[in-house]
C-alpha cells in the first residue's frame, strides 16, 4: 500500500497538541481524522524505509536545522532507532563451496541420469518410514469420546500441577511415553482457603512415584542429567505434599480445579497434545475451571452441511414420513426408486452402449 | 344370526407354518441391506417403527439367517423388497396415514398388499391370498347393501351396480384416488410404497378371446353362445362375468388388474388384523360413500309392455298414457309431456319430442320407480352378526317376488 | 332381453366418507452454499419437524439442489405438480407456502364465477318447468 506523504508530520503534531476538535477550521474534518490516524499509524509502519533525500526529510532537516533530524532515519524500526538492529549472520559452514565459486561450475544437464531426485519419486513405503521419524505435536485424529477427553484433562492437570509444585518449567513437556490415565483418576486436588493454591494429594507413595516418574521421563532435561536417580529423588522430595490436613484446605473434584493463568496455557497445551483438539482463544478465555475446559472440549464443531445437521436431529429422524438425501436426487435415483434403472442398464449393456457419461 | 366363520378361515393366512413345510425362501437377506438410493458415501433414511405393538405378518419367512453366513445379495436381484424396508419407506407410512388405516394394521402387511403375484410368486409374500379374502368381503358387503336397500332391483342392474361399487374399473379408480403409484418394474430396490407388478407387454391381447374356448361345467363349448342370465348366475363371478382371464401370471398383468388385487388385499388385511367392525367402517367410508345413481343403469327395450305386465301381475288397473301438456306440435321441436296412469294414480311421467317417445319415457320412469323402491328401515345381515347384544336386532329384509319378464 | 344394464363406475365423493388429502408428496430442495437458501435451511432445521408430524399423510423428502434457489415442489393425486420457489424467504413465509401447497388440490388455478357450488345431487327445490306450472295466472299459455 502506498504510504501517504510524510511532510504533513509537523501539521500532525500541531493538530495533536492542540486537540483536533479545536483544529483550525481551514482543515476539513476528513483530513483531520486522516491526519490523526496517520499519526497513530506512523510508529508501527512496516513498509520499506524512504529515501533520505526526499522532500519530507529535507524539510525536516531544515526545520530542525541539523543534518539528521528526528524522523528522517529509517522509521521502520522506530524514531529512536533509525537503523536496523544488527542481526548476527551465521557464517557459512566451512567445507562448503561459496555460492559464487559454485556458480562458475554450474552446467545445465541434458539428461536426468545420475541426478538427485527430490520428492515424488520415492515409493510410498520409503515415505512412511521418514514420516514416522517426524514427531507430531498433536495426534492426527481428534478424540471424540467423553471418557477419553476426561482422562486427558485429568492427566494434563496432574502432570502440570506436579511440575508446578516441583518448580520445573512446563516448556519441556513432550509427548508421553507412559500413560498415567488410571493413576490420574486417583489423585486428589486440594485448594487452600483463598482458592488460589492448588496442590496435589496422592493416595499413596507408589502412585506418587509412578506419576512423577512418568512426568520426569517426559521431561527431556532429566535425560541430560547424569545421575537420574538423584534427580528423581530431588523431584520426589520437592513434590511431597505431606502437609497435615489443614481445615482451610478442602478437597476438590477434578472438574472444580481452577485454572490459574500460570498453568492454564500449559494444561491446555498438554490437553491439545493428548487429544488433538484445538480450542479457539475466546473459548480458552471462558474456561476458568477444568470442568469448563472439559465442557468446551466436548463441543463438537457445528456441521457445515445441512444434511449432517439434520442427521443428528432426533426429532426429525423419528418421523417416518420424511426421507432425507445428502446428495442431489438425480434422474438415475428416480429411475432406481421406480425399478426402471436396472432395465435401462441391462438394455444399454446388451447393446454395448455406455451406461453413464463417466 | 350366526357369525360367518370367515375369521377362522382367514387366520390360516396369519399363522406361521412349521419350519419343515414352509416354502424355501428364495434369497437370504443381506446383513446390511442398502436402501436403493445408496451411494457409498451417504445416505441415510428415516427409520422408525410405526407402532410398537404391531407385529409383522410374514416375518418368519423373512427372518435373516445368522449374519456370518449371509452373502451380500444386491437388492435388484430380489423379486420384491424385504420386509425391513417397509419401516423405512416414507411413501408407505404416508399411504397408511392418508387412508386413515387402523394402527393395528402393520406397515409390513400394507407393503405385502402392494405386491402382485406376478412380481413375486411366493405366496407368503404376495397379496393373492389376502385378495381372495378381500374380494369375497367386498362382494358380500356390496351385495347385502344393494339387496337390502333395493329389494326389487333386477338381476342385470344388480350386477351392474355391484360392478359400479367394487368392480375392476372402480377399484382401479380407487387406487388412483388413494395416490398409489405403480413401479415400472418389480424388484428388491423398489420403494415398498409402490404397487409392484409385472406389466403385460404392449400389444398383448387381453380380451381373453385368444384364451381358448370357454368350456362349461358340463363340457359343452359355449364360447359362441349368447350369454344368458342363467349362465351368469351359475357360472359368473359377483359381477355376472364369465371370462377366463386369458393371461397367466408369468405374462404379466394390467394396471387395472393389479390395482384390483391391491384394493381387495387391503380389505382382506384390514379384516384379518382389525376385525369385522373396522372393515365395515373402512368399506363404508371408502366404497359406500361413492355416489351411484342407480336410475342411470337401466336400459329398457319395451318399457310399455313391461309396465302393463307388471300392472297385470300386481293387480293394478291397466296403465293408460295421458298427455299432460304439449307445445310446438307442428314446429321443429315439439315437447310432449305424457303421464302414465293406473286408474287415478299417476305411475310415471316423461317428456319427449314425439308422443311415442314421451310415452316410452313415462313407462320407463314408472318401471324405475317400481324397481328402485327402497324401504326406510333396513337391517343388513352383517349388522346383526355378533353375540348377544353386539349386533343389531335382526329385522327380516323384504324379498321381492321377482322381475317382470316379458 | 327386456332389460339390460349399463355398466358405469361410481363417482368418488371425497370427504363424505373418508377424506383423502390431495397433496401426497412435498419435496423440499435447499442449497448449502446459496444465500437465498438461508431461510429454507433454518426452516428445515426448526419448523419442518412439526409440520411433518402434523401431516403424516404427506410424504416429505428433503434433498439438496446445489447452486439453485430453494424450492418446494408438491405432487398431487391427480398427477399434477406445483412448485414454489422460496428464495430469500424467512422460515415463517416458507411455512405459509408449504401450507398453501398442502391445502391445494392439483387442479389448475382458474376463476370460477359461473357455478360456485358443484354437486352430484340434483337440486332440492327442483327447477321450474313451464309444463308443470299451475294452471292459474303463473302459467304461460303454450
Burial of B362-390, coded b for 16+ CB within 10 Å and e otherwise, reads bbbbbbbebbbeeeeebbbbbbbbeeeee
Please indicate, yes or no, whether residues B178 and B214 belong to a single structural domain of this protein: yes
Average pLDDT, chain B: 84
Residue in C closest to B300 by C-alpha: C3
Q: Which residue of B has its CA nearest to C18?
A: B285
A60 or B39, greater pLDDT: A60
* Residues of chain C positioned with their CB less than 8 A from the CB of A316: 48-49, 52
Q: Are residues B314 and B289 in the same domain?
A: no
Closest alpha carbon within chain A to C45 = A310
From chain B, pick out residues whose CB is under 8 angstroms from the CB of C18: 99-100, 285-286, 289
Q: B147 or B57, which is more confident?
A: B147
Identify whether residues B228 and B326 lie together within a single domain: no
Question: Cβ of A327 and C63 within 8 Å?
Answer: yes
Candidates B99, B291, B322, B338: best to mutate against C (most CBs of C within 10 A) is: B291
In a domain? residue B379: no
Phi, psi of A30 (to 5 degrees): -60, -45
Chain A hits for C44, Cβ within 8 Å: 306, 310
Residue of A nearest to C59 (CA): A321
Residue B69 has pLDDT above 70, yes or no: no
Q: Are residues B79 and B185 in the same domain?
A: yes
**Which range is least confidently modeled, B239-248, B363-372, C80-89?**
B239-248
Least confident of B55-64, B150-159, B249-258: B55-64
pLDDT at B66 over 80: no
Over range A74-93, report the average pLDDT: 59
Domain boundaries, chain A: 10-130, 146-298, 310-358
- B28 domain residue, yes or no: no
Distance CA C129, CA B78 (A): 66
pLDDT given for residue A116 in this prediction: 78
Q: Are B118 and B249 in contact (CB under 8 A)?
A: yes
Identify the weakest region by mean pLDDT among A153-162, B187-196, B336-345.
A153-162
pLDDT at position A194, please?
Answer: 54
Q: Is B337 exposed, middle or buried (0-12, 13-18, 19+ CB in 10 A)?
A: buried
pLDDT in tens, A117-138: 776 656 666 666 655 666 777 8
How close B335 comes to chain C (CA, Å)?
9
Mark which residues 303-342 of A lie under 8 Å from B by CB. Answer: 311, 316-327, 329, 333, 335-340, 342
Residue of A182 and B2 predicted with greater confidence: A182
Does residue B253 share a domain with residue B363?
A: no
3-class DSSP string for chain B: CCCCCHHHHHHHHHCCCCHHHCCCCCCCCCCCCCCCCCCCCCCCCCCCCCCCCCCCCCHHHHCCCCHHHCCCCCHHHCCCCCCHHHHCCHHHHHHHHHCCCCCCCCHHHHHHHCECCCCCCCCCCCCHHHHHHHHHHHHHHHHHHHHHHCCCCCHHHHHHHHHHHHCHHHHHHHHHHCCCCECCCCCCCCCCCCEECCECCCCCCCCCHHHCCCECCCCCECCCCCCCHHHHHHHCCCCCCCCCCCCCHHHCECHHHHHHHHHHHHHHHHHHHHCHHHHHHHHHHHHHCCECCHHHHEEECCHHHHHHHHHHHHCCCCEEEEEEEEECCCCCCCEEEEEEEECCEEEEEEEECCHHHHHHHHHHHHHHHHHCCCCCCCCCHHHHCCCCCCCCCCCCCCCCCCCCCC
As a whole number, mean pLDDT of residues B351-377 equals 97
Statement to judge: residues B186 and B88 lie in one domain: yes
B335 and B360 assigned to the same domain? yes
CB contact under 8 A, B48 and A343: no
**Which CATH number does the domain housing residue B138 bear?**
1.10.1520.10
In terms of CA atoms, which chain C residue is nearest residue B226? C1
Residue B285 sits in the same domain as residue B338: no
Q: Give chain A positions within 8 Å (CB) of C63.
A: 324-325, 327-329
B276, B294, B312: which is the final residue of a domain? B294
Contacts of A336 in chain B (CB under 8 A): 36-37, 189
Domain residue spans of chain C? 36-103
Mutate to test the interface with A, among B54, B74, B76, B181 (most CBs of A within 10 A): B76
- What does the pLDDT read at residue B61? 43
Residue B381 counted as domain residue: no
User: For residue B35, is pLDDT > 90?
Assistant: no
Please state the three-class secondary structure of A36-55 as a single string.
HHHHHHHCCCCCCCCCCCCH
Q: Which residues on chain B are in Cβ contact (under 8 Å) with C119?
A: none
Q: Is residue B26 part of a domain?
A: no
> Which has more confidence, A157 or A223?
A157
* Residues in chain A within 8 Å Cβ distance of C52: 316, 319, 321-322
For residue B11, the model assigns a pLDDT of 59
Assess if residue B59 is contained within a domain: no
Q: What is the pLDDT of residues B96-133, one digit of tens each?
A: 999 999 999 999 999 999 999 999 999 999 999 999 99
Which residues in chain A are contacts of C57 at CB distance < 8 A?
321
| Segment A310-351, tens digit of pLDDT | 988 888 889 999 999 999 999 999 999 999 999 999 999 999
Q: Which residues of A touch B46 (CB under 8 A)?
A: 316-324
Judged by CB atoms closer than 8 Å, whether chains meet at B194 and A338 is answered as yes
pLDDT-based confidence at B31, cuts 50/70/90? very low
The pLDDT of residue B39 is 33
For the cut 70, the answer to whether the pLDDT of residue B64 exceeds it is no
More confident residue, A313 or B213: A313
Percent of chain B at pLDDT exceeding 90: 64
Tell me whether residue B38 is in a domain.
no
CB contact under 8 A, C1 and B91: no
pLDDT tens digits, one per residue of A285-295: 998 888 999 99
Q: Per-residue pLDDT tens for A218-259?
A: 554 444 444 445 455 555 544 444 444 444 567 778 888 888
Residues of A with CB below 8 A from C66's CB? 328
Q: Provide the 8-state DSSP code for C113.
A: -
B166 within some domain: yes
Q: Nearest CA to CA, how far is C106 from chain B (Å)? A: 12
User: Do C64 and A327 count as a contact with CB atoms less than 8 A apart?
Assistant: yes
Q: Which residues of C touch A325 (CB under 8 A)?
A: 61-64
Q: Is the CB of residue C39 less than 8 Å from the CB of residue B192?
A: no
Q: Domain C36-103, what fold? A: Glutaredoxin (3.40.30)
Give which of A320, A324, A332, A336 to mutate to test B binding, by max B Cβ within 10 Å: A320
What is the band of B60 on the pLDDT scale with cuts at 50, 70, 90? very low
Q: What is the mean pLDDT of chain A?
A: 73
Claim to verify: residue B187 and residue B262 sit in the same structural domain: yes
B270-328 pLDDT tens trace: 999 999 999 999 999 999 999 999 999 999 999 999 999 999 999 999 999 999 999 99
Whether A311 sits inside 8 A of B189 (CB atoms) is no
Inter-chain residue contact A318 with B48, CB threshold 8 Å = yes
Average pLDDT across chain C, whole number: 92
Per the structure, the complete domain to which residue B121 belongs is given by: 75-294
Residue B261 and residue B347 share a domain: no
Average pLDDT (A179-192) is: 63
pLDDT digits 0-9 by tens, C49-95 = 999 999 999 999 999 999 999 999 999 999 999 999 999 999 999 99
- Local confidence band at B32 (pLDDT 50, 70, 90 cut-offs): very low
For B48, the closest of A319, A340, A343 (CB atoms) is: A319
Whether C2 shows a pLDDT value over 90: the answer reads no
> What's the CA gap between B360 and B352, in Å, rounded?
9
The pLDDT of residue B50: 38
Distance from C-alpha of A339 to C-alpha of A190, rounded to nearest angstrom: 69
Shortest distance between the Cα of A294 and any Cα of chain C, in A, equals 28
Chains linked to B by 3 or more Cβ pairs within 8 Å: A, C
> Which residues 170-209 in chain B show a CB within 8 A of chain A?
183-187, 189-191, 194, 196
Judgement on whether residues B159 and B114 belong to the same structural domain of the protein: yes
Whole-prediction pTM: 0.70
Residues B83 and B180 in one domain: yes
**Top-confidence residue, A69 or A346:** A346
Q: Which of B18-22, B47-51, B247-251 has the highest mean pLDDT?
A: B247-251
Task: For residue B318, give the CATH number of its domain.
Answer: 3.30.160.20
**From CA A308, how far away is CA B116, in angstroms rounded?**
38
Asked if residue B27 is part of any domain, the answer here is no
> How many Cβ pairs within 8 Å bridge chains A and C?
56
Averaged pLDDT for residues A179-191: 64
Amino acid at each position: 500500500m502506498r504510504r501517504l506523504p510524510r511532510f504533513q508530520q509537523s501539521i500532525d503534531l500541531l493538530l495533536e497538541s492542540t486537540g483536533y476538535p479545536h483544529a483550525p477550521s481551514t482543515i476539513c474534518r476528513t483530513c483531520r481524522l486522516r491526519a490523526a490516524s496517520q499519526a497513530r499509524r506512523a510508529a508501527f509502519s512496516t513498509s520499506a524505509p524512504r529515501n533520505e533525500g526526499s522532500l519530507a526529510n529535507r524539510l525536516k532537516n531544515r526545520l530542525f536545522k541539523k543534518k539528521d533530524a528526528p524522523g528522517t532515519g529509517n522509521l521502520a524500526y522506530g524514531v529512536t532507532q533509525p537503523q536496523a538492529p544488527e542481526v548476527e549472520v551465521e557464517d557459512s559452514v566451512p567445507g562448503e563451496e561459496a555460492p559464487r565459486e559454485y556458480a562458475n561450475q554450474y552446467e545445465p544437464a541434458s539428461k536426468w541420469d545420475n541426478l538427485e531426485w527430490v520428492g515424488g519419486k520415492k515409493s510410498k513405503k520409503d515415505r512412511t518410514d521418514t514420516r514416522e521419524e517426524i514427531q507430531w505435536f498433536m495426534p492426527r485424529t481428534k478424540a471424540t469420546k467423553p471418557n477419553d477427553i476426561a482422562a486427558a484433562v485429568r492427566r494434563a492437570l496432574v502432570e502440570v500441577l506436579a511440575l508446578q509444585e516441583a518448580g520445573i518449567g512446563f516448556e519441556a513437556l513432550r509427548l508421553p511415553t507412559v500413560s498415567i490415565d488410571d493413576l490420574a483418576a486417583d489423585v486428589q486436588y486440594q485448594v487452600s482457603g483463598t482458592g488460589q493454591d492448588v496442590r496435589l494429594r496422592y493416595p499413596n507413595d507408589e502412585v506418587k512415584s509412578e506419576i512423577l516418574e512418568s512426568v520426569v521421563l517426559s521431561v527431556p532435561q532429566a535425560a541430560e542429567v547424569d545421575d537420574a536417580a538423584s534427580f528423581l529423588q530431588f523431584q520426589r522430595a520437592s513434590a511431597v505434599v505431606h502437609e497435615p490436613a489443614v481445615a482451610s484446605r478442602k478437597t476438590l473434584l477434578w472438574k472444580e480445579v481452577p485454572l490459574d493463568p500460570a498453568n492454564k496455557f500449559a494444561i491446555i497445551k498438554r490437553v491439545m497434545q493428548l487429544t488433538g483438539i484445538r480450542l479457539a482463544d475466546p473459548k480458552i478465555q471462558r474456561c476458568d475451571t477444568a470442568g469448563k475446559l472439559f465442557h468446551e472440549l466436548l463441543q463438537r464443531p457445528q456441521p457445515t452441511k445441512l444434511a449432517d445437521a439434520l442427521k443428528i436431529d432426533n426429532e426429525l429422524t423419528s418421523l417416518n414420513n420424511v426421507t432425507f438425501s445428502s446428495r442431489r436426487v438425480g434422474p438415475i435415483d428416480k429411475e432406481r426408486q421406480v425399478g426402471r434403472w436396472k432395465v435401462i442398464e441391462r438394455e444399454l449393456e446388451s447393446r454395448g452402449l455406455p451406461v453413464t457419461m463417466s | 344370526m350366526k357369525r360367518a366363520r370367515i375369521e377362522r378361515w382367514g387366520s390360516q393366512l396369519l399363522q406361521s407354518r412349521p419350519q419343515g413345510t414352509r416354502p424355501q425362501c428364495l434369497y437370504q437377506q443381506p446383513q446390511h441391506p442398502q436402501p436403493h438410493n445408496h451411494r457409498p458415501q451417504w445416505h441415510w433414511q428415516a427409520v422408525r417403527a410405526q407402532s410398537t405393538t404391531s407385529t409383522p405378518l410374514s416375518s418368519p419367512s423373512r427372518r435373516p439367517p445368522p449374519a456370518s453366513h449371509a452373502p451380500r445379495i444386491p437388492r435388484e436381484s430380489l423379486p420384491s423388497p424385504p420386509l425391513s424396508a417397509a419401516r423405512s419407506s416414507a411413501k408407505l407410512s404416508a399411504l397408511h396415514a392418508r387412508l386413515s388405516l387402523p394402527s393395528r394394521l402393520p406397515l409390513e402387511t400394507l407393503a405385502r398388499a402392494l405386491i402382485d403375484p406376478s412380481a413375486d410368486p411366493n405366496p407368503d409374500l404376495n397379496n393373492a391370498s389376502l385378495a381372495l379374502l378381500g374380494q369375497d368381503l367386498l362382494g358380500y358387503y356390496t351385495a347385502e347393501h344393494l339387496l337390502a336397500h333395493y329389494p326389487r332391483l333386477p338381476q342385470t342392474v344388480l350386477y351392474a351396480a355391484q360392478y359400479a361399487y367394487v368392480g375392476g374399473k372402480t377399484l382401479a379408480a380407487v387406487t388412483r384416488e388413494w395416490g398409489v403409484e405403480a413401479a415400472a418394474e418389480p424388484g428388491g430396490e423398489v420403494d415398498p410404497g409402490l404397487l409392484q407388478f409385472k406389466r403385460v407387454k404392449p400389444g398383448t391381447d387381453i380380451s381373453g378371446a385368444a384364451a381358448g374356448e370357454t368350456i362349461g361345467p358340463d363340457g359343452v363349448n359355449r364360447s359362441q353362445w349368447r350369454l344368458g342370465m342363467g349362465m351368469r348366475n351359475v357360472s359368473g363371478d359377483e359381477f355376472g362375468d364369465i371370462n377366463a382371464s386369458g393371461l397367466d401370471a408369468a405374462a404379466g398383468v394390467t394396471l387395472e388388474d393389479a390395482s384390483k388385487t391391491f384394493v381387495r388385499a387391503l380389505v382382506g388385511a384390514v379384516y384379518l388384523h382389525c376385525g369385522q367392525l373396522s372393515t365395515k367402517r373402512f368399506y363404508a367410508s371408502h366404497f359406500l360413500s361413492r355416489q351411484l345413481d342407480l336410475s342411470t343403469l337401466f336400459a329398457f327395450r319395451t318399457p310399455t309392455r313391461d309396465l302393463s305386465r307388471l300392472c297385470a301381475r300386481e293387480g293394478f288397473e291397466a296403465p293408460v298414457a295421458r298427455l299432460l301438456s304439449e307445445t310446438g306440435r307442428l314446429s321443429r321441436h315439439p315437447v310432449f309431456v305424457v303421464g302414465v296412469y293406473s286408474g287415478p294414480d299417476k305411475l310415471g311421467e316423461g317428456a319427449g319430442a314425439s308422443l311415442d317417445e314421451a310415452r316410452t319415457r313415462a313407462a320407463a320412469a314408472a318401471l324405475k320407480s317400481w324397481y328402485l323402491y327402497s324401504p326406510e328401515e333396513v337391517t343388513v345381515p352383517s349388522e346383526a352378526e355378533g353375540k348377544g347384544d353386539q349386533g343389531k336386532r335382526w329385522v327380516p329384509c323384504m324379498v321381492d317376488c321377482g322381475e317382470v319378464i316379458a | 332381453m327386456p332389460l339390460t344394464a349399463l355398466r358405469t363406475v361410481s363417482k368418488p365423493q371425497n370427504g363424505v366418507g373418508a377424506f383423502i388429502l390431495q397433496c401426497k408428496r412435498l419435496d423440499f430442495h435447499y442449497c448449502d452454499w446459496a444465500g437465498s437458501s438461508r431461510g429454507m435451511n433454518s426452516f428445515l432445521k426448526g419448523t419442518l419437524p412439526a409440520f411433518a408430524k402434523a401431516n403424516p399423510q404427506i410424504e416429505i423428502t428433503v434433498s439438496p439442489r446445489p447452486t439453485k434457489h430453494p424450492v418446494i415442489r408438491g405432487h398431487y393425486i391427480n398427477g399434477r405438480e406445483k412448485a414454489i420457489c422460496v428464495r430469500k424467504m424467512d422460515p415463517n413465509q416458507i411455512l405459509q407456502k408449504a401450507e398453501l401447497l398442502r391445502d391445494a388440490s392439483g387442479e389448475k388455478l382458474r376463476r370460477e364465477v359461473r357455478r360456485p357450488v358443484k354437486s352430484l345431487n340434483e337440486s332440492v327445490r327442483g327447477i321450474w318447468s313451464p309444463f308443470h306450472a299451475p294452471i292459474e295466472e303463473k302459467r304461460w299459455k303454450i
